[in-house]
């Protein structure tokens, strides 16, 4: 039997029924990813696996470094095929890592290849995949159609042009693509040169002067309006911890002015300024009916040498262990006190905090079904056990039935099988519950819940305009 087969990861009859009868044909709403909008607008046709598989994939880069591969074949100037061969050398060493599952799911679903990737099969797989990649069915638009992707939400800086999204909106494709507002640089007052450069870019993008804090806030508001006008209904933020030390407007203005004249904010000032900006934005999101995504807990850019020579997002980030409960509660409660807490999705980077996050959302529910969400296993927890831990924490303390499901968080158009991976994991877990009597052995009851988690819950929650039934 091939490694990837019809019942991959489905260990019992109930799991197989749930997946094949309820999950397998659900469309995809990938509401958080890092896909480049220009590649969608231009319908990029990839030449080889090096291009489509390894560009920007810091998960693979991290594994390749662990296998002793030279940086030249990871992020350096080596040819695409050399990088692919280096990945083929690495993949047999990833048993037990989700990369092994993802790699072979992608080979099977995109190219019909069920051979295991290794140095002996690498050349044949390269030739077969290159031949398939020349087919328009594996252009970006072809991939989106093949996987029935109804919606994509890319990750966009407030200073980014929305021209590519406007171009996508004019295309005759079923997939609706929306930007997601990611203003993480708006509180980087600890790095005054970078902050001032970004504030100037914000001024140009918004056509609003940002020399004062009031102007800076107006510029952010203008860009939220611009994003909203093109259909966005989502923001996204990532912090090592939530900001919860809220300064006065006068103090926030002092910190802003200090950074604008080139003086670095202290650690505490940066936390205060971040809290001020996030409170302002949170209220704005609530007024617009947006959902706010909070990715909390990573410890980024740990390798100074590689950060200074290559840059961020290269696979040198790890799980952080900072206290999360009190600052997270403080931030959410601040907005709730003003009846200005938007729909919120919390993503936890440290599985030790799963029950903290799962119980935190229960403090602020109300008005909208599943208003507060505990998001799918994220980053280092984006694997079978991590998904199971997240699902179990949510089920034990909240309403799993209202969960809005999976996303890829990926930079690759070959990552859509991660939705399949999640669905198989979900069905297997619920199948085990059915078989052991933990939940009723009622296929329709469990199956309809699975179906909603796969797609419809997210579609209802996010309030995006999406395509209907495919052709």
As a whole number of angstroms, the distance between CA 395 and CA 83 comes to: 42
As a whole number of angstroms, the distance between CA 278 and CA 284 comes to: 10
Domains of the chain: 45-138 (1.10.2020.10)
Smallest Cα–Cα separation from 99: which of 127, 58, 134?
Answer: 58
Residues in a beta bridge with 237: 294
Structure tokens at 23: 């999950």
Q: Assign residue 207 a region: left if phi > 0, alpha if psi is -120 to 50, beta otherwise?
A: left
As a whole number of angstroms, the distance between CA 188 and CA 49 comes to: 36
As a whole number of angstroms, the distance between CA 31 and CA 407 comes to: 6
**Per residue of the chain (471 residues), what is the pLDDT tens digit?**
899 999 999 999 999 999 999 999 999 999 999 999 999 999 999 999 999 999 999 999 999 999 999 999 999 999 999 999 999 999 999 999 999 999 999 999 999 999 999 999 999 999 999 999 999 999 999 999 999 999 999 999 999 999 999 999 999 999 999 999 999 999 999 999 999 999 999 999 999 999 999 999 999 999 999 999 999 999 999 999 999 999 999 999 999 999 999 999 999 999 999 999 999 999 999 999 999 999 999 999 999 999 999 999 999 999 999 999 999 999 999 999 999 999 999 999 999 999 999 999 999 999 999 999 999 999 999 999 999 999 999 999 999 999 999 999 999 999 999 999 999 999 999 999 999 999 999 999 999 999 999 999 999 999 999 986 444
Q: Are 407 and 16 in contact (CB under 8 A)?
A: no
Q: Are 358 and 393 in contact (CB under 8 A)?
A: yes
What is the structure's pLDDT at 470? Answer: 44
DSSP designation for 139: S
Smallest Cα–Cα separation from 269: which of 296, 295, 243?
Answer: 243
Cα angle for residues 297, 300, 305 (degrees, 5° grid): 165
Q: How far is CA 403 from CA 122, 130, 233, 241, in A?
A: 39, 38, 18, 23
Q: Are 125 and 107 in contact (CB under 8 A)?
A: yes
Residues in a beta bridge with 92: none
As a whole number of angstroms, the distance between CA 162 and CA 179 comes to: 8
């Amino acid at each position: 039997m091939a490694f990837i087969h019809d019942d991959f990861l489905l260990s019992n009859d109930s799991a197989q029924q749930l997946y094949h009868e309820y999950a397998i044909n659900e469309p995809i709403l990938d509401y958080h990813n890092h896909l480049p909008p220009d590649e969608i607008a231009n319908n990029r046709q990839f030449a080889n696996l090096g291009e489509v598989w390894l560009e920007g994939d810091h998960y693979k880069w991290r594994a390749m470094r662990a296998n002793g591969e030279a940086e030249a074949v990871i992020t350096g100037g080596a040819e695409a095929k050399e990088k692919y061969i280096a990945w083929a050398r690495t993949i047999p060493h990833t048993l037990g890592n989700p990369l092994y599952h993802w790699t072979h799911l992608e080979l099977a679903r995109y190219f019909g290849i069920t051979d295991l990737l290794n140095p002996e099969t690498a050349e044949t797989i390269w030739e077969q995949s290159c031949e398939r990649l020349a087919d328009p069915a594996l252009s970006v638009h072809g991939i989106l159609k093949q996987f029935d992707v109804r919606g994509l939400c890319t990750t966009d800086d407030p200073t980014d042009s929305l021209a590519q999204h406007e171009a996508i909106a004019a295309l005759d494709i079923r997939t609706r693509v929306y930007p997601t507002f990611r203003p993480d640089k708006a509180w980087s007052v600890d790095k005054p040169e970078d902050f001032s450069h970004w504030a100037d870019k914000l001024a140009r993008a918004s056509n609003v002067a940002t020399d004062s804090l009031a102007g800076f806030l107006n510029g952010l508001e203008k860009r939220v309006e611009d994003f909203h006008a093109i259909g966005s209904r989502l923001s996204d933020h990532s912090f090592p911890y939530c900001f919860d030390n809220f300064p006065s407007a006068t103090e926030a203005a002092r910190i802003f002015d200090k950074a604008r004249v080139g003086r670095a904010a202290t650690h505490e000032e940066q936390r205060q300024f971040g809290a001020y900006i996030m409170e302002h934005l949170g209220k704005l999101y609530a007024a617009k009916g947006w959902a706010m995504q909070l990715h909390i807990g990573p410890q980024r850019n740990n390798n100074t040498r590689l950060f200074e020579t290559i840059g961020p997002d290269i696979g040198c980030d790890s799980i952080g262990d900072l206290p999360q409960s009190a600052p997270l509660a403080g931030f959410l409660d601040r907005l709730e006190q003003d009846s200005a807490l938007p729909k919120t999705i919390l993503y936890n980077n440290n599985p030790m905090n799963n029950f903290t996050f799962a119980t935190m959302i229960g403090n602020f529910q109300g008005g909208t079904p599943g208003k507060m969400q505990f998001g799918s296993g994220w980053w280092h927890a984006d694997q079978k056990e991590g998904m199971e831990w997240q699902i179990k924490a949510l089920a034990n303390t909240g309403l799993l039935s209202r969960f809005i499901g999976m996303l890829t968080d990926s930079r690759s158009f070959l990552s859509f099988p991660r939705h399949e991976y999640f669905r198989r994991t979900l069905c297997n877990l619920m199948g085990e519950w059915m078989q052991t009597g933990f939940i009723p052995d009622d296929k329709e009851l469990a199956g309809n819940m699975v179906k909603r988690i796969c797609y419809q819950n997210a579609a209802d929650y996010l309030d995006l305009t999406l395509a209907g039934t495919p052709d």
